[in-house]
Structure 1
Amino acid sequence: MGKRVEIGKTGIHVTPIGFGANTIGAHNLFQNIDEDVSRETLRAALAEGVDFFDSAFMYGLGRSEELIGEVLAETGSRSDVILATKAAHIVTDSGVKLDNSPTFLAESVDSALKRHQTDYIDLFYIHFPDGVTPPAEAVGALQRLKEAGKIRAIGVSNFTMDALSLANKDGYVDVVQDKYSLIYPELEKDMIPYCVESDISFVPYTPLASGLLTGKFTASNPPQDFRKERPHFQGQSYIDIIAKVNSLQILADKYDVSIANIVLATTLSVDGIDVVIPGAKSPEQVQSNMQTLRAALTRDEATQVRELFK
């Protein structure tokens, strides 16, 4: 599919459109997960040139990682791809708790290696801060795992700006993952500039705002699932956003891609963002996501799209 980019200062190079594996095998998060479809979707991603897969223990309590490991073993593709995963959650009979202790992180990396059927993880994130372990201590534990060759890069996810600056006290953080989209641009005020200044790559999750920025909804037909409780999916705010989204059809037609592709391409134009990781539940969605690479937006076009939603 052409060009590859470096993720921050990691020395890791990937195609800018990755694969968010939060629906792969994630029986604990979604209903009607079909693992055969999950496997087909992963195989399709490899066939389409996807080389960056982003998973987490919480996606199926390890099942997403296992399915990725199975497909990579079956296709002999491990050396061709970059694997990212995350941990912080401990699931017990009484609920879920968070742990960032060095012992837990070391055990989590070892478990992730087994599930992926590999001897190294390219990018390992602390999925959420636990509010107890000093952030620099947790990241320091990952630094030791990096020095031992078990991981190649260190990430943190869902950290506040204060926690991030503490976590990066020794300059060990390579990647930050957090919620960001054209309609949730708040992190452009502090976190993303900090990442740019610190040579940290910022990886946004929900860049399509839970489907709101895909062009699939109409003003009179909002989604009727969990999303209807969210402010942007209600009232005049929803109607205004849908009108702005629909106005992107002109650009989509120019590049012969979808509105979602225009939104993803615009997101990639933000300083500090090297890669996006849209999810996919089917081979067709993988193919659709990869069409983003055809949308070679000019700087002016990307700026106009971003301004439209501010």
Structure 2
Amino acid sequence: MTKKVTLGKTGLEINPIGLGANKIMEANPETNTEYGGDILLAGIEAGMDFIDTAFIYGRGTSESIIGETFKKHNLRDKVVIATKGAHEVTPDGVKINNRPEFMRQEVESSLRRLQTDYIDLYYVHFPDEDTPKAEVIGALTRLKEEGKIRSIGVSNFSLQQIKEGNMDGGIDVVQDEYNLINRTAEIEVFPYFKEQEIAFIPYFPLASGLLAGAYSLDHKLTENQLNKEHFQEENFKNILSRVDQIRSLAEKHHTGLQNIVLAYYLMQEQVTALIPGARNKKQMLENLKTNQVRLDQKDIQLIETAFPIGFDFRNSK
């Protein structure tokens, strides 16, 4: 049985391998609610009990699939649901809005889509430029007191913005980018999280599959990938050369390379849980195998030699 972890000071106990549900609405070439729900059901049956979604994932589609699936199968009390808001859809496009009245509206809308009376963890998805961060955390604190949310998180906030919002200790969880290619969080923010008992949940843990061993130098990249910095020729070669240095660990532990990388993150004191995405049941179940991986000191040394803190994929050779 998988040992559960406590999500910071929230008191919520979860399987450390959750599901990032940003791909749920894309689980088939055509949006297919039933198939997206099938991934959820497979994961829960295998012990997954932590779901991370957001309004912007399909503009409510991901939340709606989760809500419909959990209602249909009476699963709400078996899972911890995290969702996020801050995107306001206007006639001129989508803008970021942290105003207290808007965040309350977003929480209410998420509750309806998720078909639930409470949200376990609600994040401010992105900071806006104008709203004082203590104000938005204060608004979420009031929603917490009303029982509509159980804990408060922020995502994509700078350390200064986190400190401003956390003046009264209201922030329970932070979600931000962290992976082997970008380990700066260990130096820049982990000490503060430890001091404040804030749980940290990384996103982009496998860097679009680059750290999962999914690519080789002769891989035919899409135009969209070629526009991303990680996939540009020299950067791509540099990252893959370092991935090759740790491939042997997958063979040693009889698992996928993605599970080696995810297991390494869970060994970091401030990393509480992970939310890798999944487009199908197979990926969902493969991710859960991370819980079976036990890295030793030599494994850790090999990983940290290949991807040291301060590694810059744009300049390193």
Fold shared, TM-score > 0.5 on shorter chain: yes
Matching residue of 1:74: 72
Matching residue of 2:284: 286
Matching residue of 1:234: 232
**Aligned amino acid, residue 10 of structure 1:** T
Cα 1:80–1:170 change in 2 (3 A) is same
Whether the aligned pair in 1 keeps the contact of 2:199 and 2:270 (CA below 8 Å) is yes
Matching residue of 2:8: 8
Shift of 1:297: 1.2
Whether the aligned pair in 1 keeps the contact of 2:26 and 2:279 (CA below 8 Å) is no
Whether the aligned pair in 1 keeps the contact of 2:246 and 2:302 (CA below 8 Å) is no
Shift of 1:97: 1.1
Instruction: Compare 298-307 and 160-169 and name the one that shifted more.
Output: 298-307
Shift of 1:249: 2.5
**Aligned amino acid, residue 75 of structure 2:** S
Shift of 1:301: 2.3
Q: Distance in 2 between matches of 1:276 and 1:218?
A: 25
Whether the aligned pair in 1 keeps the contact of 2:137 and 2:165 (CA below 8 Å) is yes
Q: Distance in 1 between matches of 2:129 and 2:167?
A: 17
Shift of 1:23: 1.3
Aligned length: 308
Shift of 1:281: 0.7
Which runs of structure 2 are paired with 1:38-117 in the superposition (5 Å)? Answer: 38-117=36-115
Shift of 1:37: 2.1
Cα 1:8–1:300 change in 2 (3 A) is farther
**Aligned amino acid, residue 280 of structure 1:** A
Shift of 1:194: 1.4
**Aligned amino acid, residue 304 of structure 1:** L
Superposed CA deviations along residues 117-153 of structure 1, whole A, max 9, x for unmatched, are 1111000000011111100110011111111111111
Shift of 1:192: 2.2
Q: Which runs of 4+ in 1 moved over 4 A?
A: none
Superposed CA deviations along residues 238-283 of structure 1, whole A, max 9, x for unmatched, are 2232122123222112221100110111111122101000000100
For residue 23 of structure 2, give the secondary structure of its aligned residue in structure 1.
coil
RMSD (Å), alpha carbons: 1.7
Q: Distance in 1 between matches of 2:289 and 2:164?
A: 38
Shift of 1:79: 0.6
Shift of 1:114: 1.2
Whether the aligned pair in 1 keeps the contact of 2:51 and 2:81 (CA below 8 Å) is yes
For residue 232 of structure 1, give the secondary structure of its aligned residue in structure 2.
helix
Shift of 1:45: 1.3
Q: Distance in 2 between matches of 1:72 and 1:139?
A: 28
Whether the aligned pair in 2 keeps the contact of 1:56 and 1:65 (CA below 8 Å) is yes
For residue 143 of structure 1, give the secondary structure of its aligned residue in structure 2.
helix
For residue 25 of structure 1, give the secondary structure of its aligned residue in structure 2.
helix
Q: Distance in 1 between matches of 2:64 and 2:231?
A: 34
Q: Distance in 1 between matches of 2:100 and 2:264?
A: 38
**Aligned amino acid, residue 214 of structure 1:** A
Whether the aligned pair in 2 keeps the contact of 1:41 and 1:282 (CA below 8 Å) is yes
Q: Distance in 1 between matches of 2:163 and 2:298?
A: 32
**Aligned amino acid, residue 192 of structure 1:** F
Structure 1 residue runs without a partner (length 5+)? none
For residue 100 of structure 1, give the secondary structure of its aligned residue in structure 2.
coil
Q: Distance in 2 between matches of 1:162 and 1:48?
A: 39
Whether the aligned pair in 2 keeps the contact of 1:182 and 1:309 (CA below 8 Å) is yes
The percentage of aligned residue pairs carrying the same residue is: 43
Instruction: Compare 193-202 and 8-17 and name the one that shifted more.
Output: 193-202
Q: Distance in 1 between matches of 2:144 and 2:305?
A: 40
Superposed CA deviations along residues 50-107 of structure 1, whole A, max 9, x for unmatched, are 1000000001111111110111112211111100000000112210111111111111
Q: Distance in 2 between matches of 1:299 and 1:65?
A: 40
**Aligned amino acid, residue 18 of structure 1:** G
Structure 2 residue runs without a partner (length 5+)? 309-317
